Amino acid sequence: MPITYVIPDLHGRRDLLDRALAEIETHRAGENATLIVLGDYVDKGPDSRRVIARLRAGVAPGLRLAMLKGNHDALMVAALRGDVAMANWMTKGGDTALASYGGDVADVPVHDIDWLDGRPLWHMDAHRIYVHAGVDPALPLTQQDPVLLMTKRYADDDASGHDAGEGARHVVHGHDRHADGPLLKQGRSNLDTYAWKTGRLVIGVFDNALPGGPVELIEITAPPAP
């Protein structure tokens, strides 16, 4: 069956990313598949630079890759380009991201900034919409507020998906951490398990031929953050 794998918020945890990619290779066993990474590559955890480097390097043949933009990625870009105060980024985990580059703004390569800025805000297939934080269920994707796509927080009991004249689709997102997650609802799947802190990352496995949530979950563990 054609499969899509989804990795949620990494926040500088290169160790979890490496383990996740290895598990995906084992799981797909040479079959073609899609991998979607939901954004928030940077901040909080220790290895933002190395997370970006690994994703920029690409993945194994046969794995189609889509890497979305999260609010922390957008904030890092804005701070380094002078569009928001540097202190705003520093207090939201940017201090560790900058430290991964050596601690000096001048040491952050322009190509990393441009790469983060160039990430798309959403990805859609026949049955699902993949996005960092969430969607307005009543608006077509082309009319969505970009900030909302990266910052929306659903109520825990909100089971809405997306159906705005484009066909009903399940929404797959991260952003809103649930250490005991993932949080799986009829219309949406929140895969963010606070992985950078807990050391527990959950990969969603979706059957491209079937609507709805994941058909399987792959759990990756590593030591928690101090």
Task: Determine the Cα–Cα distance for residues 153 and 135; give it in Å rounded to an integer.
Answer: 10
For 71-88, b/e burial (b = at least 16 CB within 10 A) is bbbbbbbbbbeeeeeeee
Q: Burial level of 122, CB count in 10 A (0-12/13-18/19+)?
A: buried
- Predicted local distance difference test score (pLDDT) of residue 167: 87
Domain that holds residue 122: 3-221
Task: Determine the Cα–Cα distance for residues 207 and 104; give it in Å rounded to an integer.
Answer: 44
Domain count, the chain: 1
Residue 226 covered by a domain: no
Under a CB-based contact definition with an 8 Å cutoff, are residues 90 and 99 in contact? no
pTM of the shown model: 0.97
pLDDT in tens, the chain (226 residues): 799 999 999 999 999 999 999 999 999 999 999 999 999 999 999 999 999 999 999 999 999 999 999 999 999 999 999 999 999 999 999 999 999 999 999 999 999 999 999 999 999 999 999 999 999 999 999 999 999 999 999 999 999 999 988 889 999 999 999 999 999 999 999 999 999 999 999 999 999 999 999 999 999 999 998 7
* φ/ψ (deg, to 5) at 57: -75, -15
Residue 75 covered by a domain: yes
The DSSP bridge partners found for residue 183 are 190
Residue 63 covered by a domain: yes
Q: What is the CATH number of the domain that holds 41?
A: 3.60.21.10
Residue 145 covered by a domain: yes
Task: Determine the Cα–Cα distance for residues 60 and 31; give it in Å rounded to an integer.
Answer: 11
Residue 216 covered by a domain: yes
What is the edge-to-edge ordering of all strands in the sheet holding 183-184? 122-124, 128-131, 170-173, 188-190, 183-184
